[in-house]
Chain A
Amino acid sequence: MTKQQLPHFEATRRRLLTTGLALGGLGLAGCAGTRATGPSIGRVVVVGGGFGGATAAHYLRLWGGNVDVTLVERNPQFVSCPISNLVVGGYKQMADITRGYDSLKALGVKVVQGDVTAIDAGAKKVRLASGAQLDYDRLIVSPGIDFMNEQIGGLASAFDSGKLVHAWKAGPQTVALRKQLMDMPDGGVYAISIPKVPYRCPPGPYERACMVAAYFKEAKPRSKVLVLDANPEIQSKKALFERAFAQHYKGILEYRPNAELKEVAGNLAKLEFEDVKADVLNVVPPQRAADLARAAGLININSRWVGVNWLTMESTAQPGVHVLGDATFSAPAMPKSGHMANQHAKVAAAAVIQLLQGEAVSATPVVMNTCYSFVTAKDVIHVASVHQFDAGEKTFKTVPGSGGVSAAASQIEGRYALSWADNIWSDMLG
């Protein structure tokens, strides 16, 4: 046994010594025990029913047995950001990316529709907009992102007017963007503004540009797609997206690097040295951890992100509060993706159960990412990575020689992408 493994063994031994009698009395029936009856080991409140929060609630019930799990989500149904660009392009419907919470309820998760307005980490309570309060022993927050609209002139009021959409949270804005594209006359220009990294879903904006270009190619062949990227180059799957732009969308799609949006005025996107007129302007704003994270005092890195202990996903700012997904300050080369939030959730669920039982947490977590992007309605590319915990640096690091991107776009990966969505939605929602 190495030194590194010792603390866990010691804690396990201690627990076995103190609970050995009860365990012995259970006999092998204890093995069945993922949903055993008996006294609750604790109350866990999960805030946010997306890729991170729903997965956490599911796995707490799957692994924790008699743990009380309450999931608070503001929307009545889950709408997936992954695959939503196919709705924008007209290749999928909203129903295809919408799932309910009934299976989680059947697994014993209490699902509360509501908005959490405050977290009191000292008193271990969350308050809802309805006035209700929930007590917890451990809190898991998967709040997602909100936008830094103040960084771009005129952006907040343009969003308020309802004419400009980001569609960077799947839902009504996805529908609104699709409608704008359908209403646009042939010969028009769709422009998408991409913020500097880090932002949610690095390949997402390039995939969206492909989906809109695919739609124009079929339905409005005189129209153009303009990609205004604040970054100096494509931020994910660069060579593959460049190939797709050239192969499928030559003369339709124009990519401009270092094109940071400064101001929005009507249909004008104002850049540093020029104004660009767009019939449909789609701004993906700069992002930070969501408002709830800010209100709860969880944001402690660069005034934007939540620092976490990667062994437990517990916030480094507020004890007892575990934070998942895009809101976290990412480990090196770790993308802000739904898949990664799903992986964060499993690390958190395992750790929370161990902490509730007074056990040492697992010392060697692993997370991995798979991200598929559609470059046509059927051809897909991927990026994948595996991240092992590094005990010395106390962070996740990618494994040298692992991970990578597709050799080329393919239809078989198109089928895998849709199957990935089907599987991960079930892995989250039961």
Chain B
Amino acid sequence: MQTLISALALAAACAPGLASAQDPNLARNLAATCASCHGTNGQARGEMKTLAGVPADKIISMVAAYKSGALPATIMHQIARGYTDEQIRLVAAFFAAQPVKK
């Protein structure tokens, strides 16, 4: 049992989204859907917004504003509405934990 507990603790320490303990890869996998435009692990190139290292609450509030229409966008309002609030929280926590590469 001791090894199980330490293994679980390790898994929890590695998992960026603690709320997704049932699926430790969920946050990573959801964030990867953003990477096509925003760069692998949120490290964007060119004009796209880098998400790596951005505080989670900032990502969450921006996506909420896209969803509501409060923040005008060409495309992000349409994409934001495809994800649940819980999914956005997981994605935001994942990106917040990513190192920013220059």
Contacts and interface: CB of A to CB of B under 8 A. Distances in A.
Prevailing SS type, chain B contact patch: helix
A382 B36 CA distance: 15
A353 to B, nearest CB: 9
Contacts of A404: 78
Given A370-B36, A385-B82, A363 B23 contact: yes
Q: How extensive is the interface on chain B, given as a class?
A: 35 or more
Interface string A45-73: 00000000000001100110000000000
A40 interface: no
A343 B36 contact: yes
Given A62-B40, A416-B74, A364 B10 contact: no
B19 interface: no
Nearest to B40: A427
Contacts of A342: 36
Interface residues of A, number: 65
A424 B82 CA distance: 20
A107 to B, nearest CB: 10
Nearest to A402: B82
B10 A419 contact: no
A333 interface: no
A19 B7 contact: yes
19 contacts: A5-B23, A16-B11, A19-B7, A20-B7, A28-B13, A339-B36, A354-B25, A363-B23, A364-B26, A368-B33, A382-B75, A388-B82, A403-B78, A403-B81, A413-B74, A419-B37, A419-B47, A426-B40, A427-B36
Interface of B: 3-4, 6-8, 10-11, 13-14, 22-26, 28-30, 32-33, 35-40, 44-48, 74-75, 78-83, 87
Pairs of residues from A and B, 9 with the lowest C-beta to C-beta distance, nearest first: A386-B82, A402-B82, A20-B3, A419-B46, A402-B81, A20-B7, A24-B6, A399-B82, A404-B78
